[in-house]
């Protein structure tokens, strides 16, 4: 039986800031390849031609009014008055970062900024109302929501339609913020986890955190690891330029969760042994300023470059130039970027505190905090080409088996348990 899935997410290619957009694309492509229909709801700027295999909707294009409020859902947060206008929601926003974005928009265009909510929670509720409107107008079999910002919309759609809700957890507030959590966000996550009919966790690490931090029954949680698309997996490695300076890459948000400070410290140790290596940090985030300052303090600025936020062909280019990729994440629910690096014949070092470490055998693993071990393994890969070649050759064979089709089949089985034919 073909299922129609109403899916809520907050990033999708080409407008994305991290691995969630990649995961949503791969998963939806595989689900539709199995014959199912998907209506995917983005907060804003949906591009209809970005994914011809699904119905991509932009919540900012859906007129909402006070009549569309749902107090049962909105009491998760607080009562607000809204008007209809485009949303400022962006991927991986923290409330403090949202406020900075809001102030920037107010300076740029005071007239239009007056209609934006002054905090992130207001924007999340605005998105939820659009979800409620769709739930009243569409006929669908299942609701599938990705992470906390979609929870109010998904719960409202569930209340209106009576359809089952699958909540897909790619990252938790404890991953993003450590112990310095935002209580409102945790409350939304708690409500979503408790009320969802089924939870999908991207790793066993994430499942354990859901059980331990939110007291959720482990029987309710299905672990489905992320993957890479087969179109990507067929990509062949692009040979490195001979004689060029070795390059070590960090690619990701420059935030606490991703461990950029440990990468910088390891780089300073490596450069004492291999002074001609170039280190590149690609990405943006609240720790970017402190990282630039620390690089200057260590006196390694001539061997350390900050590339800023990259996307599309820029990412392909940086991978093709790299000799080693390092993901030193403090708390990584999964981590798709090592899989992408491996597609470009780039050996990878990943933290043991990542979900992807559960499925990769041909990657070197370190504890994020052990910068000496990290530095030693970086040196080993750069000094020994035989080791690097063995890692990439074995990894490419391994990665071809990590398929979105397999993940989609497991998720469809969960759908059918909730909505049997």
**DSSP bridge partners of 166:** 144, 198
Nearest to 236 by CA among 342, 391, 307: 342
The answer on 386 and 413 residing in a single domain is no
The answer on 114 and 68 residing in a single domain is yes
How does pLDDT run across 132-143, given as a tens digit for each residue? 888 999 999 999
Torsion sign (Cα): 381, 348, 247, 231: positive
149 near 95, Cβ under 8 Å? no
The answer on 41 and 21 residing in a single domain is yes
Enter the DSSP assignment of 369: T
What distance in Å separates the CA atoms of residue 322 and residue 349, rounded to the nearest whole number?
Answer: 13
The answer on 35 and 171 residing in a single domain is yes
Mean pLDDT of 255-284: 97
The answer on 139 and 34 residing in a single domain is yes
The answer on 386 and 292 residing in a single domain is yes
Mean pLDDT of 30-45: 88
| pLDDT of res. 80 | 26
The answer on 255 and 190 residing in a single domain is no
Res. 407 pLDDT band, cuts 50 70 90: very high
Res. 46 pLDDT band, cuts 50 70 90: low
The CATH number for 13's domain is 3.40.50.2000
pTM for the predicted model, two decimal places: 0.83
Q: Which domain holds residue 379?
A: 231-399
The answer on 364 and 291 residing in a single domain is yes
Query: Where would I find the H helices in 118-182?
Result: 120-137, 151-161, 173-177
The answer on 320 and 379 residing in a single domain is yes
The answer on 244 and 381 residing in a single domain is yes
What distance in Å separates the CA atoms of residue 263 and residue 296, rounded to the nearest whole number?
Answer: 14
The answer on 389 and 304 residing in a single domain is yes
**DSSP bridge partners of 279:** 248, 304
189 near 151, Cβ under 8 Å? yes
| pLDDT of res. 91 | 44
Compute CA distances 349 → 17, 197, 245, 329, whole Å: 22, 36, 19, 11
Structure tokens, 98: 């949202």
The answer on 332 and 219 residing in a single domain is no
Q: Please give the mean pLDDT across all residues of the chain.
A: 85
How does pLDDT run across 360-386, given as a tens digit for each residue? 998 999 999 999 999 999 999 999 999
Structure tokens, 270: 């490596």
pLDDT at 163 over 90: yes
Structure tokens, 301: 């600025």
Res. 196 pLDDT band, cuts 50 70 90: very high
pLDDT at 352 over 60: yes
Choice between 85 and 258, residue whose per-residue pLDDT is larger: 258
Total count of domains within the chain: 2
């Amino acid at each position: 039986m073909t299922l129609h899935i109403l899916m809520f997410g907050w990033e999708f290619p080409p407008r994305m800031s991290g691995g969630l957009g990649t995961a949503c694309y791969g998963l939806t492509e595989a689900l539709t390849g199995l014959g199912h229909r998907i209506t995917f709801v983005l907060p804003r700027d949906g591009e209809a031609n970005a994914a011809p295999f699904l119905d991509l909707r932009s919540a900012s294009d859906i007129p909402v009014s006070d009549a569309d409020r749902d107090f049962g859902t909105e009491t998760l947060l607080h009562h607000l008055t809204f008007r209809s206008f485009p949303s400022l929601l962006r991927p991986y926003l923290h409330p403090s970062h949202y406020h900075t974005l809001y102030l920037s928009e107010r300076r740029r265009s005071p007239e239009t900024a007056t209609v934006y909510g002054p905090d992130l929670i207001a924007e999340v509720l605005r998105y939820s109302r659009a979800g409620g409107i769709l739930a009243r107008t569409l006929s669908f079999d299942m609701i599938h929501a990705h992470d906390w910002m979609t929870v109010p919309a998904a719960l409202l759609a569930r209340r209106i339609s009576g359809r089952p809700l699958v909540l897909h957890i790619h990252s938790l507030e404890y991953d993003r913020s450590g112990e310095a959590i935002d209580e409102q966000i945790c409350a939304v996550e708690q409500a979503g986890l408790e009320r969802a009919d089924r939870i999908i966790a991207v790793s066993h690490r994430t499942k354990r955190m859901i059980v331990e931090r939110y007291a959720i029954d482990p029987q309710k949680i299905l672990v489905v690891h992320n993957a890479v698309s087969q179109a990507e997996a067929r990509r062949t490695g692009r040979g490195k330029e001979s004689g060029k300076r070795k390059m070590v890459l960090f690619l990701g948000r420059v935030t606490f969760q991703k461990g950029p400070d440990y990468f910088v410290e390891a780089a300073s140790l490596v450069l004492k042994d291999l002074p001609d290596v170039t280190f590149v940090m690609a990405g943006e985030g609240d720790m970017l300023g402190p990282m630039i300052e620390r690089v200057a303090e260590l006196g390694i600025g001539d061997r350390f470059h900050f590339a800023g936020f990259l996307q599309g062909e820029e990412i392909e280019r940086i991978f093709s130039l790299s000799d080693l990729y390092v993901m030193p994440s403090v708390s990584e629910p999964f981590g798709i970027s090592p899989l992408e690096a491996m597609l470009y014949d780039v050996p990878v070092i990943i933290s043991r505190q990542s979900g992807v470490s559960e499925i990769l055998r041909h990657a070197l693993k370190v504890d994020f905090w052990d910068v000496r071990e990290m530095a030693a393994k970086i040196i080993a890969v750069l000094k020994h080409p035989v080791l690097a070649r063995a890692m990439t050759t074995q990894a490419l064979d391994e990665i071809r088996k990590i398929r979105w089709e397999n993940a989609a089949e497991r998720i469809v089985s969960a759908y059918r348990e909730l909505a049997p034919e």
